Amino acid sequence: MREAAPAAPLAPALRAWLWWRRRFVQRFWLPGHWLPGRWRRPPLLRSAGLRFASLYAALFGLSALALIFFLWWDTAALLDRQVDAAIRADAEGLSERWEAGGPAALVVTIRDRLAENVDDDAIYLLVDKDRQRIAGNLDRWPPGVAADDDWYELPIVRDNIRSLARVHTFDLPGGFHLLVGRDVEARVRLRHVLTDALLWALLVIAGLGAAGALLVRSVLQSTLADISRTTAAIGAGDLSRRVRLSGRGDEFDHLAETINDMLERIGRLMDGVREVSNAIAHDLRTPITRARARLEDALAHATSAVDLRAAIERAEADLDGIVAIFQAILRIAEIEAGARRSAFAPLDLAPVLADLAEFYSAVAEERGIAFAFNAPPQLPVFGDRDMIQQAVANLLDNALKFSPADGAILLAGECLGNTARIIVADRGPGIPEAERRHVTERFYRGETARSTPGSGLGLALTQAVAQLHDGTLTLEDNAPGLRAILTLPTRRHGDA
Amino acid sequence: MRILLVEDDKDVSGFVAKGLREAGHVVEHADNGRDGLFLAASENFDAIILDRMLPGGVDGLRLLETLRAQNNQTPVLFLSALAQVDDRIRGLKAGGDDYLTKPFVFAELLARVEALTRRSKNEGPQTKLVVADLEMDLLARGVKRAGQKIDLQPREFRLLEYLMRHAGQVVTRTMLLEGVWDYHFDPQTNVIDVHVSRLRQKVDKPFASPLIHTVRNAGYILQPETA
């Protein structure tokens, strides 16, 4: 406070400046929108809308200025030319009179012309060789004007009124000098008016430009605000938010659609992650509990080394089962994440299916199940060989698992337009219609399947593979039995 | 066989080293990448079992890449918890000869390590495989046992070829699945057993002594009974 004392008279101004500065800084410069998870209007001076609008206003202003300047320059030049032409015409007339009647005639003519001059803007002065006035409406020869054939623009005093004149001097024979001119005060005034108008126009342009800038900014901002708010909310964890579409189908709508698509995908991935963690939490708990119970039971009750050994071996088998489930969950997650899609390539499924048929028909034969295979000589698809092999193998595993001793299994491939269909049909118990929708969910096991071994992940994996390939897995009634149809596109998605 | 084990987990490395020693191998152990690289580069080993994620600034991939850059061709088996398809591809691309994911069954590890060393010994192209009285002509694709011709389907031929190339070694079902069929999934049914039993019908059944034996909890082995 002591330092401020000498500046006491300045204090109010200083205070005002500081107050204004604080407000300005807070309003326009503080990066409040950088706070995580919250969206705020960006500071005015950093707004992209303002930048675009300013650019537009500057262009608009420049073109308006150019137009005005051109008008001004043209008008002023025209007036100048008119004055010069009038003076020349006057001088010509007077010189004719001089030639015709000498100084006396010239004096009469000057008087006549002055009398006829209604605008009172004509200036004449005829002087003798001593620069004494003979005729005209100027009191004396203006100082600084040489008596030769030349143009001047000079201040004059006429009837005690100061004014500005443009004059031309002529030397006449006999030492006479003639001065012909026009009072250009009015023209100067006009030029001033034009200059003023120009300045006012500048102000108006600046004002209109600023208003336009603010308008453009607010339009841009209101259009972008929803996108910003939505993405900020998503960033803060609310994955259910979506950007609203204006319905105009403009660039912003396209942007909003793209963002919404992206959000859908993120949502699906998040659901997948949640499902996996739920699956691990719920469905691995059961076999782990079982394994733990067996070990604890053996520890408490086993009386011989043989019993202990048996318990350990069972626990080992349990753990292997848990690992298998775990690996299946991770494999599905890996497939659903879509990272392998970059490794997709065109491939012929016919030999792949033939190999699988040969591989599994041995088992079918051993169990007395009839195994039929048919496929065209070529069955092109676009995808990942290992994944499709695994998907079909899962279907065949299921078919074998649920087929009765005298059953029949069909593995068929067929080409239907732009898709390849792989059909695995059996004559087992099938899946009731109400359950079919659920069997591709992770860990779902149908009523009839509860008694058979398996993780309940086979169909879920096949489904994931189908989805990754932009294909489908449909389950139908084979009357009796199940008919699983895996449909895959023959070409890359988007290719003609 | 002299085997280098680079693994930082004490329990896993202790268990593996013990099992390998029981199987008659000499095991050197390093518990970080730097020591592992030093040992691998300065001494001769028949095989290296290598973890991917290692402490000490040098991970398994780097270790292997450095080793291969020095033109060291010691067979390497990755033993890693990184189980995704891309991880496996990356490991094999870096110069790994085999990739086994954790958790693993020791019999599988042992069988694969022993198969690796055998593979590295048989570098030259062979035209004929012989085990006891069983002969396989790889060029004419014919099989004879005790001078008697045996007719095999193409896949049966490849299965027998795989077993004969690894004669005297345990091969697991997964190794057969990958080596003979090039399948990288785990069938829920006993498919491999069925195919091996079919092969036995043709190769062993008509003859006095069997060559293909089942190894409990592990897989199969092809060897003369007296061995």
Q: Which of A335, A366, A395, A403 is most worth mutating to test chain B (most B CB atoms within 10 A of its CB)?
A: A366
pLDDT confidence bin for B30, thresholds 50/70/90 = very high
- Return d(Cα A119, Cα A81) in angstroms, integer: 18
pLDDT confidence bin for B150, thresholds 50/70/90 = very high
Across A434-458, average pLDDT: 62
A237 located within any domain: no
B81 touches chain A (CB under 8 A): no
Q: Cβ(B145)–Cβ(B199) under 8 Å?
A: no
Chain B residue nearest residue A331, CA to CA: B84
A230 located within any domain: no
The confidence score (pLDDT) of residue A444 equals 57
CB contact under 8 A, A362 and B189: no
Report the side by side order of strands in the sheet with A482-489.
A370-374, A408-416, A419-426, A482-489, A472-477
What percent of chain B has a predicted confidence (pLDDT) above 90?
A: 62
Q: Which of A355, A363, A389 sits opposite B189 (nearest CB)?
A: A363
The confidence score (pLDDT) of residue A111 equals 87
Which CATH superfamily includes the segment(s) B2-121? Response regulator (3.40.50.2300)
A495 located within any domain: no
Distances (CA, A) of A471 to A416, A435, A487, A493: 13, 21, 5, 10
> Does pLDDT of A440 surpass 80?
no
pLDDT, tens digit, 9 for 90 and up, residues A38-52:
455 556 666 677 777
- Give me A139's structure tokens: 């009191």
The confidence score (pLDDT) of residue A350 equals 93
A18 located within any domain: yes
Phi first, then psi, for residue A347 (nearest 5°) are -150, 160
A307 located within any domain: yes
The confidence score (pLDDT) of residue A334 equals 81
A235 located within any domain: no
What percent of chain A has a predicted confidence (pLDDT) above 90?
A: 14
Q: Which of B82, B108, B185 is most worth mutating to test chain A (most A CB atoms within 10 A of its CB)?
A: B185
The confidence score (pLDDT) of residue B43 equals 92
Kindly list the residues from chain B whose CB atom is less than 8 angstroms away from the CB atom of residue A389: 183, 185
- Return d(Cα A183, Cα A166) in angstroms, integer: 7
State how far residue B188 is from chain A, nearest Cα, in angstroms.
Answer: 6
How many Cβ pairs within 8 Å bridge chains A and B?
Answer: 50
B85 touches chain A (CB under 8 A): yes
The confidence score (pLDDT) of residue A5 equals 45
The confidence score (pLDDT) of residue A166 equals 86
A165 located within any domain: yes
Do A204 and A62 lie in one domain? The reply is yes
The confidence score (pLDDT) of residue A36 equals 44
Do A304 and A364 lie in one domain? The reply is no
The confidence score (pLDDT) of residue A433 equals 80
Across A395-404, average pLDDT: 90
Kindly list the residues from chain A whose CB atom is less than 8 angstroms away from the CB atom of residue B188: 394, 397, 401, 453-454, 458
- Mean residue pLDDT of chain A comes to 81
Q: Which of A320, A358, A397 sits opposite B187 (nearest CB)?
A: A397
Kindly list the residues from chain A whose CB atom is less than 8 angstroms away from the CB atom of residue B81: none
The confidence score (pLDDT) of residue A44 equals 64
- Give me B28's structure tokens: 């050197």
Highest mean pLDDT among A17-26, A316-325, A442-451, B107-116: B107-116
pLDDT, tens digit, 9 for 90 and up, residues A176-191:
888 888 888 877 888 7
Boundary-marking domain end, from A311, A337, A363:
A337
Q: Cβ(A359)–Cβ(A389) under 8 Å?
A: no
CB contact under 8 A, A323 and B187: no
Q: Which of A363, A389, A401 sits opposite B183 (nearest CB)?
A: A389
> Does pLDDT of A230 surpass 60?
yes
pLDDT, tens digit, 9 for 90 and up, residues B57-93:
888 999 999 999 999 999 999 999 888 888 888 999 9
Q: pTM of the entire structure?
A: 0.63
A474 located within any domain: yes
Do A6 and A146 lie in one domain? The reply is no
CB contact under 8 A, A393 and B84: no
Do A310 and A348 lie in one domain? The reply is no
The confidence score (pLDDT) of residue A73 equals 84
ipTM of the complex: 0.84
Distances (CA, A) of B205 to B199, B209, B215: 9, 8, 18
Q: Pick from A437, A361, A441: which is nearest to A396 by CA?
A: A361
State how far residue B14 is from chain A, nearest Cα, in angstroms.
Answer: 19
State how far residue B221 is from chain A, nearest Cα, in angstroms.
Answer: 21
Q: Give me the residue spans of the domains in chain B.
A: 2-121, 128-222
Distances (CA, A) of A330 to A280, A394, B22: 10, 16, 34
Do A325 and A347 lie in one domain? The reply is no
- Mean residue pLDDT of chain B comes to 89
- Give me B51's structure tokens: 């973890």
Q: Which of A329, A397, A455 is most worth mutating to test chain B (most B CB atoms within 10 A of its CB)?
A: A397
Domain that holds residue A268: 242-279
Boundary-marking domain end, from A337, A357, A377:
A337
Q: Kind and range of the H or E element at A385? A: helix A385-402
State how far residue B49 is from chain A, nearest Cα, in angstroms.
Answer: 22
The confidence score (pLDDT) of residue A226 equals 83
pLDDT, tens digit, 9 for 90 and up, residues A289-302:
888 888 888 888 88
The confidence score (pLDDT) of residue A413 equals 93
- The least confident of A96-100, A130-134, A422-426, B121-125 is B121-125
The confidence score (pLDDT) of residue A455 equals 63
Q: How many domains does chain A have?
A: 5
The confidence score (pLDDT) of residue A3 equals 44
B128-222 CATH fold: Arc Repressor Mutant, subunit A (1.10.10)
The confidence score (pLDDT) of residue A147 equals 61
pLDDT confidence bin for B214, thresholds 50/70/90 = very high
Do A101 and A6 lie in one domain? The reply is no
CB contact under 8 A, A358 and B191: no
Across A39-68, average pLDDT: 74
pLDDT, tens digit, 9 for 90 and up, residues A367-389:
999 999 999 999 999 999 989 99
> Does pLDDT of A4 surpass 50?
no
Q: Which of A323, A358, A389 sits opposite B103 (nearest CB)?
A: A323
In chain A, which residues touch B (CB < 8 A)? 319-320, 323-324, 327, 330, 334, 339-340, 355, 358-360, 362-363, 366, 386, 389-390, 393-394, 397, 400-401, 453-454, 458
Q: Which of B15, B85, B152, B198 is most worth mutating to test chain A (most A CB atoms within 10 A of its CB)?
A: B85
- The least confident of A198-202, A459-463, B64-68, B103-107 is A198-202
